[in-house]
Amino acid sequence: MQITLEIQRYDPQKDKEAFFEKYDVEINPNDRLLDALMKVKQYIDPTLGFRKSCAHGVCGSDAMVVNGVERLACKTLIKDVINKDGSPIKIEPLQTLPIQKDLMVDQSRFFEHYRQVKPYFINKEPIKEKERIQSQEEREDFDDGTKCILCAACYSACPVVRGINPSFLGPASIVQAERFIDDSRDEGFEERASLLDFPDGIWPCQNFYQCTRVCPRHIKITQLINKTKENIVKYRTSRGEKIHDLP
């Protein structure tokens, strides 16, 4: 079948503003959107810029906005994004992050926020046996957070980041913090709590659930954010302290 892709183009080195360009592509409805983009790049317009690496939903590099919704191009089948009214499939870069070229965005701010929450194992105690033992149930406690591939789809979809408070830490960073907070072997809760408990930290989240809707790994992001908030409230209350800026 033939489809039309309407792709946002923008090269900051030569374009004054972004514009849309249409490309007709012959494709099987069971092929992926990434296959269609590759066809455009290989056979129609080699100047089209987009990122991809694994092509199997693992590296998180090809997140983009398709018909207004954040998706991974390599996990999106053409038949799932064809518009019933026959209009072109509209493809735009992730929102809020600066455009480097066409569908490629500068993810520096997203990764700065990610590093801010210390997304690594903290435990200064020496290991008593060969390894730090953990039960199956304890491992399951943080399983959801381990699925994140840092694609930034949630960050792009978040209405808080998009307008209410662009300095908000963002959903993915909090998912990463909770992944370690929930790990029975980790002892970095106090350090992370102080990094999350500030006005632009965890509190700007207003439970819009947009992050949860778009996450290609189906992580229950909003639920994890609320769990982290509860953990911080419990911790502060147990110490007779006030929450920094509880809305």
Q: How far is the CB of 9 from ligand FES (least distance, A)?
A: 20
60 binds ligand FES, rule: CB under 6 A: yes
Among left, alpha and beta (phi > 0; psi -120 to 50; other), residue 90 is: beta
Q: How many residues bind ligand FES (CB under 6 A)?
A: 12
166, HSE (Cβ side, Cα atoms, 13 Å):
7
Restricting to residues 16-35, which ones interact with ligand FES according to CB under 6 A? none
Residue 106 CB, nearest approach to ligand SF4 (Å): 16
Residue 74: contacted member of ligand FES, ligand SF4, none (CB under 5 to 8 Å, by partner type):
ligand FES
Answer for the pair 67, 81: CB distance below 8 angstroms, yes or no.
yes
- With binding defined as CB under 6 A, does residue 72 bind ligand FES? yes
The reply to whether 196 sits near ligand SF4 by the rule CB under 6 A is no
Residue of the chain from 6, 9, 49, 55 that contacts ligand FES (CB under 6 A): 55
Size of the site for ligand SF4 (CB under 6 A): 15
Evaluate whether 45 touches 23 at the Cβ level (below 8 Å).
Answer: yes
Would you call 152 exposed, middle or buried from its count of C-beta atoms within 10 A (0-12, 13-18, 19+)? buried
Smallest gap, in angstroms, from Cβ of residue 216 to ligand FES?
Answer: 8
- 64 forms part of the interface with ligand FES (CB under 6 A): no
**Residue from the set 37, 221, 225, 232 that interacts with ligand SF4 by CB under 6 A:** 221
Considering the rule CB under 6 A, would residue 178 count as an interface residue with ligand FES? no
Contact set with ligand FES (CB under 6 A): 52-55, 57-62, 72, 74
Contact set with ligand SF4 (CB under 6 A): 148-154, 171-172, 175, 215-217, 219, 221
